[in-house]
Amino acid sequence: MGLAWAAGVALGTFASSTYFLSRKPRSPDSISESEENKATAQILEQIDRQFTITPSKLQEIFHYFIKEMERGLTPEGSSMKMIPAFLKSIASGSEMGSFLALDLGGTNFRVVRVLLEGQGRIRTNQKKFVVSDELKTGDGEKLFDFFADCVSEFMKEFSMDVKETYSLGFTFSFPVKQLSISSGLLMEWTKGFSASGVVGKDIVKIIEASFQKKGLKIKVTALVNDTVGTMIAETYKDANCVAGVILGTGTNAAYIEKVSSITKWEGEDKTGDMVINMEWGGFDDHKKVLPVTSYDLELDNSSINRGAQIYEKMISGMYLGEITRLAVADLVRKKLLFGGKISTKFETRYKFETEYMSRIERDHSSDLNDTKSVLEDIMEIPFTSLQDRRIVKRICEVVAIRAARLSAIGIAGITSKIGRLHGCTIAIDGSVFERYPHFSNRMRDAFVELFGMQADNIRMVLTGDGSGVGAGLIAAIASKTQ
Ligand code: GLC
């Protein structure tokens, strides 16, 4: 069965395509090649059609996003939790002192010592620990005991006196219902965590109990989300910063809102500003406007938080590789790729990492050599043709472009809602934003589609180590006000 025929049968008939991968003059010898190109073009068109967010769709999602933000601030609530972070003041740049910070993001756990020297100057020491899947999904108490062990090891390594009392800021990057700046209940786990006995409990009490068991005199003075930490770290240097965004293993944002707009806020003081942890990963969990494909549904169905965090599952690093894997595996099953042959590794969930997509997108060689090495050497696909590799590369592109455009919608939603289109800084952290090729340019393209020339007024800055430094800073701000 010819490839062109198979493609026609499996995908239906399409209008003429814009993808011409080879422009050699037509000769009897090149007929089969041109047939193959036609088939490839049809496959690519089908893939494109599923993943493309057109300018009008972009507008539609953008308007719905703002509505959901607004609804989330009312007692009615919305798909985004829009959690008040109990933080009213941002960093002034003059905070000083030495603080400890913990950072549990997704893949790693970090202990950081933050030395604030004033005038925006900061020094840090830090140590990273890997949280095993066993700890992530096992007994909650063991997970927090592990964190206390890490702190103890860190203090020894940096010769810190364990008898002294330290203030600590804990960046805990999961949905937490804040009760105060230094207490909060875990609402649900995300990003592959499911440790037992933690949901519904106060995270600070759990970690302080583990510290006590190890004889550590540590007082948690701030419990913060990574988005909040990232924003605060940037405000230490730039007073124009209005939001913090994470585009990494997971995705989320925090921003500064007027208390008077938060109608669900029951606190006495209704004046001034309040930092909001949006938990935007939950945006449109009912799939009203998000352009979900069959691959997104498949990913969601087999995830441990089925039906939740759909927006996050279309954007963040934990999932992009998996969406791509599912799309590629589908084409192999339809015998449109790799001669219909796949490997056990490629068929295994989450084995195709987002990092491989970055490598493939960076591969500009004429025969896509590095793509070949990812597919054949790492993913153990027995054989790939150049056409195969072009198709895989295009799938990576469309999946990542969609992710970039969706994340741009979130930032556009914030800046537009708070009326800062005339100028603002957005602090961003996370491996996808930092390392995925073209990600920020693709976001910019979406800003331009939404705002025209005003798009230039949105300044995105990579705020490395927002979670560590930010938690230390908030611990400093909190100790001033407590
Ligand atoms: C997940 C968490 C959220 C966090 C984000 C980025 O979406 O629920 O709290 O900010 O990941 O790490």
C-alpha 253 – ligand 1 centre gap (Å): 8
Distance 38 CA to ligand 1 centre (A): 42
Q: Are 117 and 315 in contact (CB under 8 A)?
A: no
282 C-beta closer than 6 A to ligand 1:
no
Tokens found for residue 387: 């056409």
Whole-number pLDDT of residue 176: 96
pTM over 0.95: no
Backbone angles phi, psi at 448, to 5 degrees: -65, -40
Q: Is 230 in the pocket of ligand 1 (CB under 6 A)?
A: no
Q: Which of 278, 261, 121, 131 is nearest to 192 (CA)?
A: 131
Residue nearest atom 3 in ligand 1 by C-alpha distance: 174
Q: For residue 122, give every residue at least 6 positions away whose Cβ sits within 8 Å of its Cβ, in sequence order, or none.
A: 114, 115, 116, 236, 469, 472
Q: Which of 38, 81, 88, 191 is catalytic?
A: 191
Reply yes or no on whether the pLDDT at 6 is more than 80. Answer: no
Q: What is the pLDDT of residue 25?
A: 40
CA 455 to chain centre: 22
Residue 140 beta carbon below 6 angstroms from any ligand 1 atom: no
pLDDT digits (tens, 9 = 90+) for 90-127: 777 777 888 899 999 877 899 999 888 887 788 899 99
C-alpha 428: how far from chain center: 10
Percent residues over pLDDT 70 in the chain:
93
Lowest mean pLDDT among 305-309, 451-455, 474-478: 474-478
Instruction: For residue 105, give the ligand 1 atom closest to its CA.
Output: 12
Q: Is 430 in the pocket of ligand 1 (CB under 6 A)?
A: no
The verdict on the CB of residue 250 being under 6 Å from ligand 1 is yes
Specify burial of residue 300 (Cβ count, 10 A radius: 0-12, 13-18, 19+).
Answer: buried
Residue 16 has pLDDT above 60, yes or no: no
Model confidence over 425-465: pLDDT tens digits?
999 999 999 999 999 999 999 999 999 999 999 999 999 87
Categorize the per-residue pLDDT at 480 as very low, low, confident or very high, splitting at 50, 70 and 90: low
> Is position 372 annotated as part of the catalytic site?
no
| pLDDT (0 to 100) of residue 376 | 98
CB-ligand 1 contact for 312 (6 Å cutoff): yes
Judged against a pLDDT cut of 90, whether residue 401 lies above it is answered with yes
Say whether pLDDT at 165 is over 60: yes
Residue 192, ligand 1, Cβ within 6 A: no
- Atom 2 (ligand 1): residue with closest C-alpha? 174
More confident residue, 363 or 121: 363
Cβ(171) – ligand 1 distance below 6 Å: no
pLDDT at 29 over 60: no
pLDDT band for 24, please (50, 70, 90 cuts).
very low
Give pLDDT, residue 468.
84
Residue that wins the pLDDT comparison between 5 and 263: 263
Q: How many angstroms separate the alpha carbon of residue 309 from the centre of ligand 1?
A: 10
Ligand 1 atom nearest to CA at 309 = 7
Q: Whose CA is nearest to atom 1 of ligand 1?
A: 250
Question: Which segment of 87-101, 299-313, 407-421 scores lowest on mean pLDDT?
Answer: 87-101
Q: For the chain, state the CA radius of gyration.
A: 24
Of the pLDDT bands very low, low, confident and very high (cuts 50, 70, 90), residue 481 is low
For ligand 1, whether the C-beta of 407 sits within 6 Å is no
Please give the distance, rounded to the nearest whole angstrom, from the Cα atom of residue 438 to the centre of ligand 1.
23
Q: Which of 79, 83, 136, 174 for a ligand 1 pocket mutation test, highest count of atoms within 8 Å of Cβ?
A: 174
Q: Say what the pLDDT of residue 27 is.
A: 45
- The question of whether 330 is a catalytic residue gets the answer no
Average pLDDT over residues 323-344: 96
pLDDT surpassing 60 at residue 477: yes
Residue 311, token pair as written in the block = 């927006």
Name the amino acid, one letter, at 186. L
By most ligand atoms within 8 Å of CB, the mutation choice from 225, 285, 309 for ligand 1 is 225
- Cα distances from 242 to residues 110, 254, 274, in angstroms, run 26, 9, 11
Looking only at the bridges linking them, the beta strands covering 96-104 and 166-172 are: parallel
The answer to whether the CB of 429 is under 6 A from ligand 1 is: no
Query: How far is 53 from 245, CA to CA, in rounded Å?
Result: 21
Which backbone phi and psi does 365 adopt, to 5 degrees?
-70, 155
243-298 pLDDT, tens digit each:
999 999 999 999 999 999 999 999 888 999 999 999 999 999 999 999 999 999 99
As a whole number, mean pLDDT of residues 301-305 equals: 95
Higher model confidence: residue 451 or residue 5? 451
Mean of pLDDT values over 41-49:
90
pLDDT number for residue 5: 32
Which of 202, 226, 273, 363 is the catalytic position?
Answer: 226
Average pLDDT taken over every residue of the chain: 90
Displacement of CA 160 from its chain's centroid (Å): 34
Distance from residue 249's CA to the centre of ligand 1 (Å) = 8
Could you tell me what percent of the chain has a pLDDT over 90?
A: 78
In this prediction, residue 10 has a pLDDT band, given cuts at 50, 70 and 90, of very low
Residues in Cβ contact with 437 at an 8 Å cutoff, skipping those fewer than 6 apart: 358, 361, 362
C-alpha distances (whole Å) from 143 to each of 110, 147, 197 are 14, 7, 11
The pLDDT score that the predictor gives to residue 15 is 29
The least confident of 30-34, 85-89, 364-368, 439-443 is 30-34
- Separation between Cα atoms, residue 337 and residue 360, nearest integer Å: 16
Average pLDDT over residues 4-23: 32
Q: What is the 3-state secondary structure (H, E, C) of the chain?
A: CCHHHHHHHHHCCCCCCCCCCCCCCCCHHHHHHHHHHHHHHHHHHHHHHHHCCCHHHHHHHHHHHHHHHHHHCCCCCCCCCCEECCCCCCCCCCCEEEEEEEEECCCEEEEEEEEEEECCEEEEEEEEEECCHHHHHCEHHHHHHHHHHHHHHHHHHCCCCCCCCEEEEEEECCCEEEEECCEEEECCCCCCCCCECCCCCEHHHHHHHHHHHCCCCEEEEEEECHHHHHHHHHHCCCCCEEEEEEECCCEEEEEEEEHHHCCCCCCCCCCCEEEEECCHHHCCCCCCCCCCCHHHHHHHHCCCCCCCCHHHHHHCHHHHHHHHHHHHHHHHHCCCCHHHCCCCCCCCCCCCCHHHHHHHHHCCCCCCHHHHHHHHHHCCCCCCCHHHHHHHHHHHHHHHHHHHHHHHHHHHHHHHHCCCCCCEEEEEECHHHHHCCCHHHHHHHHHHHHHHHHHHHEEEEECCCHHHHHHHHHHHHHHHHC
- For the segment 318-338, the average pLDDT, to the nearest whole number, is 96
106 CA → ligand 1 middle, Å: 8
